[in-house]
Amino acid sequence: MNDIARDPKAVWLGLLEGNRRFAEGVPVHPNQSVSRREQLQMGQAPRAAILTCGDSRVPVELLFDVGLGDLFVVRTAGEVVDSAVLASLEFAVAELGVEVLVVLGHESCGAVGATAKVVLDGEDVPIGHQRTIVEQIAPSILEAKSKGGHSAEHFERAHAHAILRKIMQVSPVINTAVDKGRTAVVAGRYRLKDGRVETVWTEGV
């Protein structure tokens, strides 16, 4: 992806095309050669940054059928955000110049499911630092419920969008890049059942 002209829409469409290949079982595994690895010793120039869940079933480079140096990836349970995550994404936008920032939720997210049980069923909040995950996801579930959403699918979509909004609200660096058209933003959801990434919300593509 690094050889085409700067174009956020083209970058996102390229990722969706790679996801189509992955879902259909015809990946081409680009940029995974020895020469590519050697080339990257000189530095990196990814065109997209992805914040996604740490779930082992969401292998980002595989599901978008990309290779070495193509994506800047940050992963946390439930794709929740803290200062380190924000700093990492700001680095990708401001220093690496990524053209697309994606917040990618996924089907059957354990963090979202566990939070739903706390919020809707009154189960105990998980112990230790896991509480912070529940605290960040709970507003997304309540927002989805207020709009008539009642399923895990609704909660997962709402959460990906809410996290993207939060990033733009608390990061002037990223918000400015979006306002100036340098970086597009996307909220998406990966479906385990068919391997497809569905678009939840976009700006700039």
Model confidence over 85-98: pLDDT tens digits? Answer: 999 999 999 999 99
What number of other Cβ atoms are within 10 A of residue 124's Cβ?
A: 7
Following DSSP, what letter does each residue of 7-28 receive, concatenated? -HHHHHHHHHHHHHHHHTT---
Tokens 């919020």 -> residue: 119
Q: In Å, how far from its chain's centre is CA 96?
A: 17
pTM (2 d.p.): 0.95
The predicted-structure confidence for 126-155, as pLDDT tens digits, reads as follows: 889 999 999 999 999 999 999 999 999 999
Confidence of residue 2 (pLDDT cuts 50, 70, 90): very low
Predicted local distance difference test score (pLDDT) of residue 176: 96
Residue 103 burial (10 A CB sphere; 0-12, 13-18, 19+): buried
The type of residue at 64 is F
Buried b / exposed e along 128-157 (16+ C-beta atoms within 10 A): eeeeebbebbbebbebbbeeebeebbbbbb
Q: How far apart are CA 57 and CA 26, in angstroms?
A: 19
**What number is the average pLDDT over the span 165-179?**
97
DSSP annotation of 72 reads E
Q: Are 140 and 166 in contact (CB under 8 A)?
A: no
Q: What is the mean pLDDT of the chain?
A: 96
pLDDT, tens digit, 9 for 90 and up, residues 28-38? 999 999 999 99
Q: Can you tell me the distance from the alpha carbon of 76 to that of 89, in angstroms, rounded to the nearest whole number? A: 13
Please give the pLDDT value at position 3: 45
Q: Which of 111, 103, 114 is nearest to 160 (CA)?
A: 103
Res. 4: pLDDT tops 60: no
> What's the pLDDT at 189?
98
- Looking at the DSSP bridge assignments, the partners of residue 187 are 103, 201
pLDDT one-digit tens code per residue, 44-94? 999 999 999 999 999 999 999 999 999 999 999 999 999 999 999 999 999
What pLDDT, in 10s, does the model give residues 106-123?
Answer: 999 999 999 999 999 999
Rg (alpha carbons) of the chain, rounded to whole number: 17
Residues 6+ away with beta carbon under 8 Å from 97? 45, 182
pLDDT score of 126: 87
* CATH 3.40.1050.10 at 8-203, yes or no: yes
Strand partners, 189: 105, 198
Q: Is residue 1 pLDDT above 50, yes or no?
A: no
Q: What's the confidence (pLDDT) of residue 8?
A: 96
